[in-house]
Amino acid sequence: MIRLLFLGDLVGEAGRNAAKFVVERLLNEQAVDFVVVNGENSANGRGISAKIAIDLLRSGVAVITTGDHVWDQKDTATYIPTEPRLLRPINYPPGAPGAGSIVLDTPKGKVAVMNVQCRTFMNQQLDNPFVAAEEEAHWLRNQTPVIFVDVHGETTSEKTAMARHLDGVVSAVVGTHTHVQTADERILPRGTAFLCDAGMCGAIDSIIGREAGPVIQKFRDGLPARFHVAKGPSQVCGALIEIDPATGKASTIQRIREVVEMTH
């Protein structure tokens, strides 16, 4: 079996440090074979820089996925074509920098990772994610049956629909973007593991990773506010999935949520 660990949105320095700490431990304690993280909020809460991506990849992460904040750091558009392990959503129009999927060799066989972004309540006008993900999944299956999908979206219905759409074609579909972990992990009828949202890696004393005060104030008076990334003890959220490398079917999915006191 291939043991794949996925960690949800890394928010700022606190999220990055906590995620790296947990990845290092689980690589040993849980015999994890492959690590994927969503890094689109890892650079001070907005986007991901080349320096941060390099640091995460050196820490034991195999692939970094993103979402609607992928271009928020100015060096990403020039860096992403040089680093195929940093993905942007597959359903960007042709000509966008970077790629939305990758296939990597491991001692237990090839593993594919795909990143796709939903459209409901999202700002970007991207191509249809259901069509793009289906086409890409069938292309990836020509190379390996082991396919992990990060579906980045706001609504539970659209992410659940994506998982049902890809059931039996990919190994796992796990949602990101809301930063709040859901409790609906399961194996779908045709063998695809699903969790609607992995949750975030970031400061616990926060509102989805940001300092609480300005967020509350913005809701209260509607005036502009700067949302600074919160610091302090962090939660690390995600999922650990076991996949048969011969069939690509998932046998188990386990939610991960740990509190990490270390922030530096």
Q: Which residues are catalytic?
A: 69
Among all chains, which residue has been given the structure tokens 């926060």? 206
- Return the exposure string of 4-39: e unless at least 16 CB atoms fall within 10 Å of the residue's CB, then b: bbbbbbbbbbbbbbbbbbbbeebbeeeebbbbbbbb
**8 Å CB contact between 65 and 37:** yes
Judging by beta carbons within 10 Å of its beta carbon (0-12, 13-18, 19+), is residue 104 exposed, middle or buried? Answer: middle
**Would you call 116 helix, strand, or coil by DSSP?**
strand
Amino acid, single-letter form, for residue 146: V
Bridge-based pairing of strands 2-7 and 34-38 is parallel
Judging by beta carbons within 10 Å of its beta carbon (0-12, 13-18, 19+), is residue 263 exposed, middle or buried? Answer: middle
Question: What span, in angstroms and rounded, lies between the C-alpha atoms of 255 and 207?
Answer: 21
Question: What span, in angstroms and rounded, lies between the C-alpha atoms of 230 and 179?
Answer: 14
